Amino acid sequence: MNQDARTLTLAEIATRLGARLKGDGERRVSGLATLRDATPDQVAFLANRAYLKDLPETRAAAVLLAPAHGEACPVASLELDNPYLGYAELSRLFDPLVGRTPSGTHPTAVVADDVRLGENVAIGPQAVIEEGVELGDDVVIGAGCVVGADSRIGEGSRLHANVTVCHGVVIGQRAILHSGCVIGGDGFGFAHDGGRWHKIAQLGGVILGDDVEIGSCSSIDRGALGDTVIGDDVKIDSQVQIAHNVQIGDHSALAGCVGIAGSTRVGKHCMLGGGVGLSGHLTIADGVQVTGMSLVTNSLLEPGIYSSGTGAMDNAQWRRNAVRFKQLDDIARRLSRLEKVGRSG
């Protein structure tokens, strides 16, 4: 990052984070780094015990950590009960994009005559804003973006370069959409007559709540009749596919390559690990966690942690297990017969 973007004293950081400072409050720092890589003008953080081994040798100006590790810190410390949450806040203080938000409409952008623009809106080169669009205050539309007709984007939202927002999409406040994502493309809807497929027009839209973030090259399809709805504070990683009429509750998080089939409902505060697949028309309760690469084919109606599949193993062992898996049904039948004989005897 640009080390000249901003400098802060340790006292200023402690005040901002509500941290207990041990050390020179006038010491100035200009960035963040890991315990191992930090230089004397940077702050490091310790949120995972696996990195305790790096603490004694750190060269950081200060370390953000839990009180339990304060005595072992060889440099100034910023103590917080949740150092990872403090790190998240501190990262925003040193974000090089802060204070560099563009404004105005680039001369190569194409903006329809009836578009309604809030205050301090920025529209980048080659962007296209179609008729009937409403952009709230402080919205940033990156280079090459397309915002389809009659869409609305809430205050403080940012579209990075080459985002496509199709017609009739509603995006809440402070949303962040990364490059290459597509919001509101047609859902995968076709009827088959026995010989060929016939397209079903997708008449719904997409609604994104406030504080939603969507990673690069992710796709959220518009609804077939009703809307696809993504709740407030939902975080979606890169290369995620969300099909038509899916609903995702507030504060849920989806890691990379998750795929959700149509009309599934995911509750609030859910977490789906990388590569998780959800079949269509399921209900996932609030507070469900599904570990990476799991396939979910039935509704999960109770909160908890769910997993499926097997982890990687030696190929020869996997081949033996694969053969045995095919034999399980026969083994179960034979066992059932033996149990019946045992009971009758």
Query: Hey, which residues are catalytic here?
Result: 244
Tell me the CA distances in angstroms from 240 to 70, 163, 180, 208, 243, one per residue in order: 40, 15, 12, 15, 10
d(CA 248, CA 336) in angstroms, rounded, equals: 42
Angle between helices 10-17 and 83-93 (to 10 degrees): 120
d(CA 142, CA 322) in angstroms, rounded, equals: 49
DSSP string, 82-95: SHHHHHHHHHHHT-
What letters, b where the CB count within 10 A reaches 16 and e where it falls short, cover 179-217? bbbbbbbebebeeeeeeeeeeeebebbbbbbbbbbbbbb
d(CA 57, CA 44) in angstroms, rounded, equals: 12
Q: Please, which residues have CB within 8 angstroms of residue 261's CB and are 6 or more apart in sequence?
A: 243, 277, 278, 279, 280, 281
